[in-house]
């Protein structure tokens, strides 16, 4: 499986990430695409889902991307919290896709784990409405909740997860523990204690034990918000243990051999620095890393012409040090080398004489040489960035995907991305 990259990693050999064996392995039930924002996680997840389905898997893609690109590329008007069948899949498999509705997922948890009256009280509580709509880490936690629900249904044999576009990719791993700790922590238990003690004992505890904290929080949050929090806590009492239990179960699911993480990055310094940090974090958490997908890699069909030589040739053309081959050929066409007779000259109309003349061939050629030099400088910069990553993590398998001229907007485009992913580690020539 190990070979040097076609691009030629100058520092060491790099393992090529083989996508098809990963997707074909029946033991792999979850593929998690993670990485910094804006590196193509959503497109990668969708392309993996399409390729897996067309190779015979029953796959579902769970995206948390607020943009609607995934739905559009799969020919679905709108994705929501319910998996929807994707039409047009070729082969024996099938593909479903869904977009996480954070609040709806939280509501479903409440409805599933509380009796109707208690559920209604929770859903109508102002603090719960704020928590479910935008509490820090809620989106990541609900993504894990939805992953656990999909896995429990056992309706699909492969789940592809597009992680949230959070500020840090590490939020995805931290959020379940953070929210679970918050909902099951000492602070919540302290707020819940007066309601559980009841009667005079409860009032005494509230007045003595919580007076300082309540006064401080009341000033910071406002008295009404604090009362909403306490009402919410009392209604959620029976559910707190479930949050922690499910968070722990989902975390173990991510560590299981049936899960594979793909770190997605662009060949840019910041993206690969975050990718390296994430690789180290996955190793520390004992989570199975399949490899790195490097998106938007630039290539050239004339890579043997260096940037330096291209710029030198362009300067020579600008300074007239290279003979205009076209002009030389034109001059040699006459047998005597004399100018054509006036009768042989075509009359030039007034309208034609007003047209601006085309730039000389030498100018066009020099411009193309400079464009090529810029492309080769980009290639060189990307290669140095990749080399730094692979020097730090030579054990990480890598697949490269060439930069595309436009956005992916249909199944054919996703298939093309899948083909490039399955092609191993080299970016095609011209992007």
- Please report, to the nearest 10 degrees, the dihedral formed by the alpha carbons of residues 162, 68, 176, 270 taken in order: 60
Tell me what pLDDT residue 44 has.
93
Q: Is 292 exposed, middle or buried (0-12, 13-18, 19+ CB in 10 A)?
A: buried
Backbone phi, then psi, for 61, in 5-degree steps? -105, 125
Tell me what pLDDT residue 14 has.
65
Tell me what pLDDT residue 141 has.
78
Is the Cβ–Cβ distance between 279 and 393 less than 8 Å?
yes
What does each of the 431 residues of the chain score in pLDDT, given as a tens digit?
A: 333 333 433 334 568 899 999 999 999 999 999 888 888 888 899 999 999 999 999 999 998 766 666 677 777 777 788 899 999 999 899 999 998 888 888 898 889 888 898 889 889 988 888 878 766 667 777 888 888 889 988 899 999 998 876 555 566 677 666 665 666 555 566 665 554 544 444 444 444 444 444 444 444 445 666 677 777 777 776 676 677 788 788 888 889 999 999 999 999 888 898 899 889 989 998 999 999 999 988 777 777 777 787 787 777 887 776 554 444 444 444 444 444 444 444 554 555 545 555 567 888 888 888 887 777 787 888 888 888 898 989 999 999 998 877 778 889 989 999 999 998 444 433 33
User: Structure tokens of 320?
Assistant: 């007239």
Q: How far apart are CA 60 and CA 41, in angstroms?
A: 15
Tell me what pLDDT residue 339 has.
46
Tell me what pLDDT residue 430 has.
33
What own/partner pairs with CB < 8 Å and gap ≥ 24 does 306-313 have? 306/376, 307/372, 307/373, 307/374, 307/376, 307/377, 307/380, 308/373, 310/369, 310/370, 310/372, 310/373, 310/376, 311/369, 311/370, 311/373, 313/366, 313/369
Q: How far apart are CA 280 and CA 393, in angstroms?
A: 9
Tell me what pLDDT residue 357 has.
54
- Please report, to the nearest 10 degrees, the dihedral formed by the alpha carbons of residues 423, 411, 69, 146 taken in order: -80
**Interstrand relation of 158-162 and 259-265 (parallel, antiparallel or unpaired):** unpaired
Cα 55 to chain center, whole Å?
23
**pTM: predicted TM-score of the whole model, two decimal places:** 0.75
Tell me what pLDDT residue 251 has.
84
Q: How far apart are CA 383 and CA 400, in angstroms?
A: 12
Task: Count Cβ atoms below 10 Å from residue 218 Cβ, excluding itself.
Answer: 14
Task: Count Cβ atoms below 10 Å from residue 194 Cβ, excluding itself.
Answer: 21
Q: How far apart are CA 211 and CA 214, in angstroms?
A: 5
Tell me what pLDDT residue 369 has.
80
Is the Cβ–Cβ distance between 363 and 316 less than 8 Å?
no
User: Structure tokens of 318?
Assistant: 């600008």
């Amino acid at each position: 499986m190990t070979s040097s990259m076609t691009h030629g990693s100058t520092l060491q050999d790099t393992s090529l990430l083989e996508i098809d064996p990963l997707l074909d392995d029946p033991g792999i039930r979850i593929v998690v695409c993670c990485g910094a924002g804006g590196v193509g996680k959503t497109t990668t997840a969708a392309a993996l889902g399409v390729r897996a389905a067309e190779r015979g898997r029953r796959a579902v893609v769970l995206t948390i991307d607020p943009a609607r690109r995934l739905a559009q590329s799969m020919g679905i008007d709108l994705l929501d919290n319910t998996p929807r069948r994707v039409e047009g899949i070729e082969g024996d498999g099938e593909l479903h896709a869904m977009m996480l509705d954070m609040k709806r997922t939280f509501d479903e948890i409440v409805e599933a784990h509380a009796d109707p009256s208690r559920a209604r009280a929770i859903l109508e509580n102002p603090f719960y409405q704020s928590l479910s709509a935008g509490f820090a880490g809620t989106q990541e936690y609900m993504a894990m909740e939805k992953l656990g629900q999909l896995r429990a249904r056992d309706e699909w044999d492969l789940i592809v997860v597009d992680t949230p576009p959070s500020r840090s990719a590490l939020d995805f791993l931290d959020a379940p523990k953070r929210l679970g700790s918050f909902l099951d922590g000492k602070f919540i238990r302290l707020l819940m204690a007066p309601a559980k003690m009841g009667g005079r004992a409860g009032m005494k505890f509230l007045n003595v034990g919580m007076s300082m904290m309540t006064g401080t929080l009341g000033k910071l949050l406002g008295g009404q918000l604090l009362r909403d929090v306490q009402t919410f806590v009392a209604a959620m009492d029976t559910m707190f243990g479930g949050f922690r239990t499910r968070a722990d179960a989902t975390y173990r699911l991510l560590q299981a051999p049936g899960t594979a993480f793909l770190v997605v990055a662009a060949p840019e310094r910041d993206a690969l620095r975050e990718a390296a940090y994430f690789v180290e974090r996955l190793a520390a958490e004992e989570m199975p890393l399949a490899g790195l997908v490097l998106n938007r890699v630039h290539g050239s069909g004339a890579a043997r012409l260096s940037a330096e030589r291209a710029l030198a040739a362009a300067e020579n053309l600008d300074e007239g040090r290279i003979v205009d081959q076209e002009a030389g050929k034109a001059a040699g066409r006459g047998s005597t080398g004399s100018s054509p007779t006036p009768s042989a000259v075509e009359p030039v109309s007034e309208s034609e004489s007003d047209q601006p003349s085309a730039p000389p061939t030498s100018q066009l050629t020099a411009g193309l040489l400079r464009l090529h030099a810029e492309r080769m400088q980009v290639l060189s910069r990307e290669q140095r960035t990749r080399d730094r990553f692979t020097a730090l993590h030579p054990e990480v398998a890598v697949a490269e995907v060439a930069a595309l001229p436009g956005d992916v907007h249909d199944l054919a485009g996703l298939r093309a991305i899948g083909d490039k992913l399955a092609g191993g580690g080299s970016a095609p020539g011209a992007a």
